Amino acid sequence: MTELTYLDNAATTRLDERVLEAMRPYLFETYAVATSQFGYSPGIEAKDALDSARAKIAERMGASAEELVFTSGSTEASNLAVKGVSMALGEKKGRHIVTTRVEDFPVLYSARALQKQGFEVTFLEVDELGRIDLNQLEQSITDATILVSVQSANQEIGTLQDVAEIGNICRNKGVLFHTDATHSFPRVPLDVNIAPVDLVTVTAHLAHGPKGIGGLYVRQGTPLGKWMDGGFQEFNLRPGEENIPGAVGFARAVELVTPEETARLQSMRDRLVDRLLQVPNSQLNGHPTWRLPHNANISFRFVEGESILLHLDMRGFAVSTGSACFSRSLEASHVILAIGGNHERAHGSVRFTFGRFNKDEDVDALVQAITDVIARLREISPLGKGE
Amino acid sequence: MPLPYSETVMEHFRNPKNVGRIEDADAKSVEGSPACGDMVAVYLKVDEASLRIKDIKFESYGCASNIATGSIITELAKGKTLDEAKEITWQQASDALGGLPPIKTHCSVLAVDGLRAAIENYEERHGLVKERTATTVDEVMRRLKHVMNPMVGLDLVRTKVVKGVEVSDGVVKITIDLPADHQFSANIREEVSDKIAPLWDVKTVDVEFVG
């Protein structure tokens, strides 16, 4: 078996051993639930660990500790944001929310669930590079609008939105702003003191942290309903025993992401894009500069993504594709279609996402493998034979 | 092996048989599904006297199950008469491959359709086609048997989701007993339209979800 070169770090990442080391004491020694200061000592220690993890993660976005609610991950965080605001303001203020066509499933389907309850939802279009039009956003906000939810970075094509400007528009209009920062935090800097966001979805497992822990930044004073019933944990917003090892691991993972490391991933990514765009009939999906530093997404014409993926797997590379053949619903990537791509462009799209454990030489090996695989599949394709 | 494909499928995917094109083919077909995006081209060389397939090649713009089915179906068809080859079913191809994951059925059916279309193409070119008949409900149902319900990997007719078929004045109306917001509704709509629209006397295909 060839050693796996993993280039699907937007799906999940390998846990960093240092994160595991930080978590270990809270699995085997201080495994108690968090208790009040009047409880038994392991419980108090657990509570301290939870608070300190919360403070570290919040600090990374310029927030204070009590503004971060831990959740089981980003899906739950985005559900809490979208459904929580609708519960708090749906009756009081209005029943309209604004989001985009390219959101990831948690926001997209939370919005659709609200539609079924009678909320009106505006799904903003994006341009061919994946960015929303700020004027269009501004015009779509009405007196009934209670929430704008626009992602920080796209899960497939990596396009970044102008979160600060979107926040300013929402602030001026007096509307709450949620951003799904699942794919950008903590690699792409976000400061809630500069960007006026009210709610931010984050997760640990895309930055070499553990799976099963994420969080929602909730700016102080933001009205939010509790949509899941249970205990009073997490400021009475997210019931259930706290995942303390997870929270500690999340905080350690955030610490370990440095600008230097991100620059290294970006340079590998840039080299990969340069080389792959030399393959004839290939094109970059997403924005060339407003883009996640570790994401590349390229469409190769006349070939199909799942076939590319399987051939690469046989050669020891793990990547992802927007092809309908690969998706669970047999539908082509809604993101590629939203940027004006046709089924064919989605069909041959491949996403490469870098992480900490990728090495420089991975790029050359990958370019070689891709070039071979594309040539081979084009040979058996009925298309592109220059007729 | 963590992949959902059998070793046989993977072998045919890695090293497909009969791949390429025949420049002086006696017949050819190109079948494509806009829903999945897959396309298959099939080329035939036919012995005029015995109507036996002398040579067959295929090209695929598709996923692994599409490529593997193209490979196996051309193996199965080679040396058979056109009438024999027409009878090769998707099930035979799938069995020969050691089975296919249910969700991948439709990409694979496309390759089987490609073979049939190439044979029909030969028959049309050589005046072997019987009279054109008007489209009937039966013919629509027959074609719906080639549209998969991706949930279970069996066709729409067998999974009993076809609630009604009406044919009148070139308009075919098909009601499907699935909710309109079903995970696969968009996919099923396109596949149905794809199978029914090419009928010579059909102008409109109307697919309604009533579940």
Buried/exposed A197-212: b ≥16 CB within 10 Å, e otherwise? bbbbbbbbbbbbbbbb
CA distance A41 to B43: 77
Tell me the pLDDT band of B32, cut-offs 50, 70 and 90. confident
**pLDDT tens series, chain A, 387 aa:** 467 999 999 999 999 999 999 999 999 999 988 887 778 888 899 999 999 999 999 999 999 999 999 999 999 999 999 999 999 999 999 999 999 999 999 999 999 999 999 999 999 999 999 999 999 999 999 999 999 999 999 999 999 999 999 999 999 999 999 999 999 999 999 999 999 999 999 999 999 999 999 999 999 999 999 989 999 999 999 999 999 999 999 999 999 999 999 999 999 999 999 999 999 999 999 999 999 999 999 999 999 999 999 999 999 999 999 887 766 666 778 899 899 877 788 889 999 999 999 999 999 999 999 999 999 999 999 888 754
Give me the residue from A314, A324, A381 closest to B37, CB to CB.
A324
**Six token digits for residue B155:** 């066709």
- Is 0.80 topped by the overall pTM? yes
B134 near B168, Cβ under 8 Å?
Answer: no
Inter-chain CB proximity A381 and B186 less than 8 Å: no
Q: What is the pLDDT of residue A278?
A: 96
Inter-chain CB proximity A330 and B63 less than 8 Å: no
Instruction: Give residue limits of the domains in chain B.
Output: 7-125, 137-209
Q: Which one of B38, B63, B100, B189 makes the best mutation probe of the A interface by having the most chain A beta carbons within 10 Å?
A: B63
Give how far the C-alpha of residue A326 lies from the chain's centroid of Cα atoms, to the nearest Å: 20
Q: What is the pLDDT of residue A382?
A: 87
Q: What is the pLDDT of residue B173?
A: 94
- For residue B35, the distance in angstroms to the closest alpha carbon of chain A comes to 7
Q: What is the pLDDT of residue B2?
A: 53
A-chain residues near B35 (CB < 8 A) = 324, 330
Is the Cβ of A194 closer than 8 Å to some Cβ of chain B? no
Is the Cβ of A330 closer than 8 Å to some Cβ of chain B? yes
pLDDT tens, residue by residue, B120-155: 889 878 877 766 778 888 888 888 887 777 766 667
What's domain B137-209's superfamily in CATH?
A: Fe-S cluster assembly (FSCA) (3.30.300.130)
Inter-chain CB proximity A380 and B59 less than 8 Å: yes
Task: Give the domains, in start order, of chain A with CATH numbers.
Answer: 73-241 (3.40.640.10), 258-377 (3.90.1150.10)
B36 has a pLDDT exceeding 60: no
Inter-chain CB proximity A330 and B59 less than 8 Å: no
Annotated catalytic residues of A are 325
- For residue A303, the distance in angstroms to the closest alpha carbon of chain B comes to 6
Q: What is the pLDDT of residue B138?
A: 86
**B63 carries an active-site annotation:** no
Residue of B nearest to A306 (CA): B63
Task: List the one residue out of A374, A375, A353, A384 whose CA is nearest residue A12.
Answer: A353
Is the Cβ of B137 closer than 8 Å to some Cβ of chain A? no
B63 near A306, Cβ under 8 Å?
Answer: yes
Tell me the pLDDT band of B1, cut-offs 50, 70 and 90. very low
Instruction: Specify the CATH number for B7-125; select among 1.10.1740.110, 2.30.110.10, 3.90.1010.10, 3.40.50.1820.
Output: 3.90.1010.10
Q: List phi, psi (to 5°) of A112.
A: -65, -35
Q: Strands B27-32 and B39-47: what pairing?
A: antiparallel
Is the Cβ of A306 closer than 8 Å to some Cβ of chain B? yes
- For residue B85, the distance in angstroms to the closest alpha carbon of chain A comes to 22
Among B107, B118, B172, B205, which one carries the catalytic annotation?
A: B107
B-chain residues near A310 (CB < 8 A) = 3, 10, 13, 64
**Six token digits for residue B113:** 């359709």
User: With a CB-CB cutoff of 8 Å, which residues 38-97 of chain B face chain A?
Assistant: 38-41, 59-64, 66-67
User: Is residue A232 packed enough to be buried (19+ CB in 10 Å), middle (13-18) or exposed (0-12)?
Assistant: exposed
A-chain residues near B150 (CB < 8 A) = 330
Give me the residue from A306, A343, A346 closest to B63, CB to CB.
A306
Is the Cβ of A326 closer than 8 Å to some Cβ of chain B? yes
A-chain residues near B10 (CB < 8 A) = 310
Q: What is the pLDDT of residue A355?
A: 98
* Residues A269, A274, A276, A281, Cα dihedral to 10°: 140
Is the Cβ of B108 closer than 8 Å to some Cβ of chain A? no
Mapped to the 3 state alphabet, what secondary structure does chain A carry? Answer: CCCCEECECCCCCCCCHHHHHHHCHHHHCCCCCCCCCCCCHHHHHHHHHHHHHHHHHHHHCCCCHHHEEEECCHHHHHHHHHHHHHHHHCCCCCCEEEEECCCCHHHHHHHHHHHHCCCEEEEECCCCCCCCCHHHHHHHCCCCEEEEECCCECCCCCEECCHHHHHHHHHHHCCEEEEECCCCCCCCCCCCCCCCCCEEEEECHHHCCCCCCEEEEECCCCCCCCCCCCCCHHHHCCCCCCCHHHHHHHHHHHHHCCHHHHHHHHHHHHHHHHHHCCCCCEEECCCCCCECCCEEEEEECCCCHHHHHHHHHHCCEECEECCHHHCCCCCCCHHHHHCCCCHHHHHCEEEEECCCCCCHHHHHHHHHHHHHHHHHHHHCCCCCCCC
Is the Cβ of A323 closer than 8 Å to some Cβ of chain B? yes
